[in-house]
Amino acid sequence: MIDYPPRIQLAHTPTPLQPLRRLQQQLGGPLIWLKRDDMTGSTLSGNKVRKLEFIAAKAKASGCSALITCGGIQSNHCRATALVAAQLGLQCHLILRGLPASNNISDGNQLLDELSGCTISYHSPADYSATLPALFEKVTSDYSNSGHQAFCIPTGGSDGDGLWGYIAACQEMAEDFAAHKISPSAIITASGSGGTQAGLIVGAHLLGMQTDIYGINVCDDESYFVNKINEDIRDWQAKYPAQPELEMTDAMIRIIDGYVGEGYAKAGRTVIDTIALLSRTEGVVLDPVYSGKAFDGLLQEIAKGRFTNDSDIVFVHTGGVFGLFPYKAMFGQ
């Protein structure tokens, strides 16, 4: 039995576990099961909602009436946080990396951020990287001056609190596997800020699952994620000292590096083709920044021979479909 901290139910769970049989018929290889975490909701959806169930509960329990977070201009995490705040009647401010388009027409997640009624500050990438902690301090103090205590959420909701979301998801998957009578050898996810993978690693450990957890990084590199995931797990242990000890070794952090392409949020031709392939073969839509880039990496790994002796593997569809729309010009080329 896992002893969970307080949680506000926001995600529609359990999400389905869907076998991609038509894709397997076409490509061969192992049967890939998709954990449909893109279906945790409609606009308030994806992996971030699972993390926010625990983060928002902690914010409310600490008496906070405002949430502050940060991310790229098309951040799914920022969109989810802004909509959670609206749902719970909290104030919200987003610190976004990137300036609005010159025609001032918002697209994808940015449009949803604006609809949520949150306040937003836009910063050039250089300004954002150089001053992020000071930007958080300034917004916190502005809220304080207007009588609101603010709760600061790190990039992607990835820290010792957000980790709980994927510990719970791991438990849900253990139940899915029993229901489908399968024992997948691997659970694979896109890693962007590391919290999803970190939660899955801790969850698999707490549950004694014999399934290896893999992250396909969509930015940075293997050593960055080994550090970041270790740091998030240490933060979880420090914040929740009554939880069982977890002896971490770097070998438990399996990163499949090599699919970042030209950089974060830059999608190459194969990513776009993979998104189109899965859409027409299975009716499932991925996004170019996270799930599509990682799934494309997974298909390339299988083509090179990885996982080909395995009968069942799982890929977590972490959502992000709104991030597809700013890339519309790349489809149909």
- Verify binding: residue 160, ligand PLP, rule CB under 6 A: no
The verdict on whether 116 is a catalytic residue reads no
Q: Taking the CA of residue 55 as centre, how many other CA atoms within 13 Å lie in the half-sphere pointing to its CB?
A: 31
Q: Examine residue 47 and tell whether it contacts ligand PLP (CB under 6 A).
A: yes
Regarding 110 and contact with ligand PLP (CB under 6 A), the answer is no
Site for ligand PLP in 287-326 (CB under 6 A): 287, 290-291, 318-320
What is the rounded distance in angstroms from the CA atom of residue 38 to the CA atom of residue 63?
A: 30
Q: How many residues would you count in the chain?
A: 333
Is 194 among the residues that bind ligand PLP (CB under 6 A)? yes
User: Which residues, in sequence order, are bridge partners of residue 190?
Assistant: 216
Say which of 42, 65, 75, 193 is annotated catalytic: 75
- DSSP character string of 140-196: HHHHHHTT--EEE--GGG-STTTHHHHHHHHHHHHHHHHHHT---SEEEEEESSSHH
Window 223-242: residues binding ligand PLP (CB under 6 A): none
With CB under 6 A as the contact rule, the residue among 46, 72, 288, 326 that binds ligand PLP is 46
Q: Choose one: 84-92, 130-138, 167-175, 285-293; the region binding ligand PLP (CB under 6 A).
A: 285-293
Contact status: 41 vs ligand PLP (CB under 6 A): no
- Which of 19, 88, 16 minimizes the C-alpha distance to 53? 88
**Chain-centre distance of CA 9, in angstroms?**
18
Among 196, 211, 230, 274, binds ligand PLP (CB under 6 A): 196
Close Cβ partners of 238 (under 8 Å, ≥ 6 residues apart): 160
The count of residues interacting with ligand PLP (CB under 6 A) is 20
156 part of the interface to ligand PLP, by CB under 6 A? yes
Smallest distance, ligand PLP to C-beta of residue 213, A = 12
Point out the residues that are catalytic.
75
